Amino acid sequence: MILVVIRMKVHSEKRLELSQTMALLISSIRAEKGCRSCDFYQSIEDENQLNLLEEWDTQESFMSHLNSERFKVLRGAMNLLQEPYEMKFHTIFNLEGLKEVL
């Protein structure tokens, strides 16, 4: 499984616009093949700090998401940020072990 975290620091006056866009995008991202989850979060410390969290079944499904028009729109929305966004990928390879711990 692939976990993707996109951290965004938005201009306060653009927060509404970005949030609207994200709200529109995540529902369609969730419908993409191989998407386990897609959620948009706001930091309680900094209202302009927004995070997008995506979970993908496989690298292939994540790669196809990266090549999708939705992802291009998302990248276009990054123009609303104060500073460049940060994107992190995590590959989780042993879920069984984690289950035991939990």
Residue ranges that bind other proteins, judged by CB under 8 A: 12-14, 16-17, 20-21, 24, 69, 72-80
- Of residues 21 and 42, the one with the C-beta less far from other proteins: 21
Name the residue among 37, 39, 95 with its Cα closest to residue 61: 37
- Print burial letters for 6-20: b (CB count within 10 Å at least 16), e (below 16): bbbebeeebbeebee
- Of residues 69 and 100, the one with the C-beta less far from other proteins: 69
- Of residues 27 and 43, the one with the C-beta less far from other proteins: 27
Minimum distance of other proteins from residue 92's CB (angstroms): 28
- Of residues 24 and 31, the one with the C-beta less far from other proteins: 24
Minimum distance of other proteins from residue 28's CB (angstroms): 10
CA-to-CA distance for 83 and 78, rounded, in angstroms?
Answer: 9
Minimum distance of other proteins from residue 18's CB (angstroms): 9
4 Cβ contact list (under 8 Å, min separation 6)? 52, 53, 54, 55, 56, 62, 87, 88, 89, 90
3-class DSSP state of 22: helix
Minimum distance of other proteins from residue 99's CB (angstroms): 39
